[in-house]
Structure formats: structure tokens, C-alpha cells
């Protein structure tokens, strides 16, 4: 593929792509906005190691000095971790300005998909996707992640949508946009911190080969857009639905009281939920990211064999 003039692909990642070896993209918002330093850097490096241990090459994605980066050095990950919230959280609308001004940026699900696709990376592991926020019928607060899944040919492996969202409306939106929602070994949509949500997925697939084959077929028949794989958090790290839902309801009430809206909503709610649960939600968050990285690497291995 023709190289984009604003894109830097790390040598190891470029070589893997040239040789049709498995590569998995990772986002950087989890580093800058997801957890405190140094835990954020330790987690990011561990996620990369999990991908290597399962046979693939990691490509953590970010914007550094106005350059789109597919694959970060340890120093660049450290920089994002230390800078934290001072690094802008970059969605699709922000990309041209951040590049033009030569700034750093942490990539969301949306921008990680965009940059991964530019680099030729087809599999992306994250924690959870954004979606339709509660009350969106009046606020129109709908994550750009859903539009990106409809347009950009990347398989996103996550632990479902965070239950701070309206999960029913999120699924309806994805159906309208033609995005397949697949449960890995489950017929029920996982809700990030918990394995169950009460909502069904479109299809259940049970092996990395089945996931890779479905995505390969989607590309071969020329259907645009991505595919969403929802991978339940391991049982031992799952939180009790009653506990997490009570914390989420409290956090949402607090966000309304403080007038939080737009791109500040999700970081505020996650921080508040962490505070209410005494940090248990952060521990669960880290474990589900490792779990998704393992599945993404195994799926990327199978996809690389399909040509």
C-alpha cells in the first residue's frame, strides 16, 4: 500500500507487515487517560508483551510531534504515561489540527482504527468501545467509535461496551450501520466490568480461526467497515453487576450535577466509578485488556495464514 506522508511505521511493525506476519494495534488513550503513572506505563508494556507471547507483533498507536505513529518505543510510551491528561485525547475531528500543529495526541478507538488501517493493520485490541450515552435521545451524545466501525476495515476486540452507556441503543446503532457484533464464546453482550448485560449479540464464534475467517470473508466480498468482537472479562476478575451498576448510577448522577458533557464524560465516569469501587474497577480494567490482547494476537496469527 502507498505510504501516507504523515505516518511513521516502527521498523519491527513495518517488517512484520511486509512479511505478512501477525500485528495487533493498541490504543494510547488508556496510557494517558486510563490510569495513573507509573501503572499506565507498566500496563502498556505488559500488554505488548502479552501480544508477543501469543505470536504477534504489538503496534501501540499515538501521535507524537504531529506524526502518526504505528508502533511506539518504550521512551514514547513513558512520555505519554508521564504527560498523562496533558496529552490531548484525539478523535477523528481532531486529527488534522493535531497533525498540522505538530502536537502529541493519545488515540481513542476511532483514531487507533484510522491509523491502524493506514498502516495496513487489521486487528486492534482495546478495553471497551464507546457507544450511545444514556439520554442520547435528547443530548445526541454518541461516540465516534460507532461511525468508525461502520467505515474502517479493522476488527476491534474488546470486552463489550462500558455499562456507563445505553447498551441497547448502542447495539441498535451498530445494527443500523451494518457492523457485526460477535460474542467470543458467548451469546450475550459483555458489559466491560461484568460478563453479562441482558442483551444478545448477533453471532457467537468460539475460536480465533472462526473470527479470522469471518473477517477475511468480509474483506474478500468487498463489504466496507469493521467488525466488533466482544470478549467477556475472565470470570475471576468479573465484578458483581449490582455493585458496578450502583457505582455507575452514582457516577452518572454526579456528572449531571457537575455539568460534565462531551469528550470529558467517559474519563469522568470511569474515574468516579474507580473511586466508588475502591479501585476494584481499575484492576478489572487491566485484566480485561490483557485478555483481549491474548485473543487479538491469536486471531491475528490465524488471519495472517489466510493471506
Per-residue confidence (pLDDT) for residue 138, from 0 to 100: 76
Could you report how far apart the first and last alpha carbons of the chain are, in Å? 15
Residue 162 bears catalytic tag: yes
| pLDDT tens track for 22-68 | 999 999 999 998 888 999 999 999 999 999 999 999 999 999 999 99
* H/E run at residue 78: helix 74-83
Q: How far apart are CA 122 and CA 226, in angstroms?
A: 9
Per-residue confidence (pLDDT) for residue 276, from 0 to 100: 76
Per-residue confidence (pLDDT) for residue 307, from 0 to 100: 77
Helix 39-53 crosses helix 280-305 at what angle (to 10 degrees)? Answer: 30
Q: How far apart are CA 12 and CA 84, in angstroms?
A: 26
Beta bridge partners of 58: 24
Q: Please identify which of the residues 69, 162, 272, 274 carries the catalytic annotation.
A: 162
| pLDDT tens track for 77-102 | 999 999 999 999 999 999 999 999 99
Give the torsion sign (CA, 67, 71, 76, 77). positive
* H/E run at residue 248: helix 241-258
Q: Please identify which of the residues 27, 48, 78, 302 carries the catalytic annotation.
A: 27
DSSP class of 302: H
Q: How far apart are CA 160 and CA 186, in angstroms?
A: 11
Q: How far apart are CA 182 and CA 201, in angstroms?
A: 6
**Domains by residue range for the chain, with CATH:** 1-121 (3.40.1790.10), 128-307 (3.40.1790.10)
DSSP class of 192: T
pTM strictly above 0.85: yes
* H/E run at residue 158: strand 155-158
In this structure, what C-alpha cell is assigned to residue 205?
464464534
Per-residue confidence (pLDDT) for residue 279, from 0 to 100: 66
Q: Which mean pLDDT values do the consecutive 10-residue runs of the chain (307 residues) have?
A: 85 98 97 91 97 98 98 98 95 97 97 98 95 80 93 97 86 96 97 90 98 97 97 91 79 82 72 73 87 98 94
Strand 105-107 to 57-64 pairing? antiparallel
Q: Percentage of the chain with pLDDT > 90? A: 72
For the chain, helix, strand, coil in percent to 5 are 50, 15, 30
Residue 147 bears catalytic tag: no
* H/E run at residue 9: strand 7-9
Q: How far apart are CA 146 and CA 152, in angstroms?
A: 10
Do residues 229 and 156 lie in contact, with contact meaning Cβ atoms separated by under 8 Å?
yes
Contacts of 131 (CB under 8 A, 6+ apart): 142, 143, 145, 146, 161, 162, 165, 166, 167, 169, 170, 173
Amino acid at each position: 500500500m502507498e505510504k501516507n506522508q504523515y505516518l511513521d511505521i516502527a521498523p519491527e511493525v513495518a517488517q512484520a507487515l511486509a512479511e505478512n506476519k501477525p500485528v495487533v494495534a493498541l490504543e494510547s488513550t488508556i496510557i494517558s487517560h486510563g490510569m495513573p503513572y507509573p501503572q499506565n506505563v507498566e500496563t502498556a508494556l505488559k500488554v505488548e508483551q502479552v501480544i508477543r507471547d501469543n505470536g504477534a507483533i504489538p503496534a501501540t498507536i499515538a501521535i507524537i510531534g504531529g506524526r502518526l505513529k504505528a508502533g511506539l518505543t518504550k521512551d514514547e510510551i513513558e512520555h505519554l504515561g508521564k504527560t498523562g491528561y496533558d496529552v490531548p485525547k484525539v478523535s477523528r475531528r481532531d486529527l488534522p489540527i493535531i497533525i498540522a500543529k505538530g502536537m502529541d495526541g493519545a488515540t481513542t478507538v476511532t483514531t487507533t482504527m484510522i491509523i491502524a488501517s493506514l498502516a495496513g493493520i487489521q486487528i486492534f485490541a482495546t478495553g471497551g468501545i464507546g457507544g450511545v450515552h444514556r439520554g442520547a435521545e435528547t443530548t445526541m451524545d454518541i461516540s465516534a467509535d460507532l461511525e468508525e466501525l461502520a467505515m474502517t476495515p479493522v476488527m476491534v476486540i474488546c470486552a463489550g461496551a462500558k455499562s456507563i452507556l445505553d447498551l441497547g441503543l448502542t447495539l441498535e446503532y451498530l445494527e443500523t450501520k451494518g457492523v457485526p457484533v460477535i460474542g467470543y464464546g458467548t451469546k450475550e453482550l459483555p458489559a466491560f466490568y461484568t460478563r453479562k448485560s441482558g442483551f444478545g449479540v448477533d453471532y457467537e464464534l468460539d475460536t480465533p480461526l472462526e473470527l479470522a475467517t469471518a473477517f477475511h470473508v468480509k474483506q474478500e466480498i468487498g463489504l466496507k467497515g469493521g467488525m466488533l468482537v466482544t470478549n467477556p472479562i475472565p470470570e475471576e476478575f468479573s465484578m458483581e453487576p449490582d455493585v458496578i451498576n450502583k457505582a455507575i448510577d452514582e457516577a452518572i448522577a454526579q456528572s449531571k450535577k457537575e455539568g460534565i458533557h462531551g469528550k470529558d464524560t467517559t474519563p469522568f465516569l470511569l474515574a468516579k466509578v474507580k473511586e466508588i469501587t475502591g479501585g476494584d474497577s481499575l484492576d478489572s480494567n487491566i485484566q480485561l485488556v490483557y485478555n483481549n490482547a491474548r485473543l487479538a494476537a491469536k486471531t491475528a496469527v490465524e488471519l495472517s495464514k489466510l493471506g
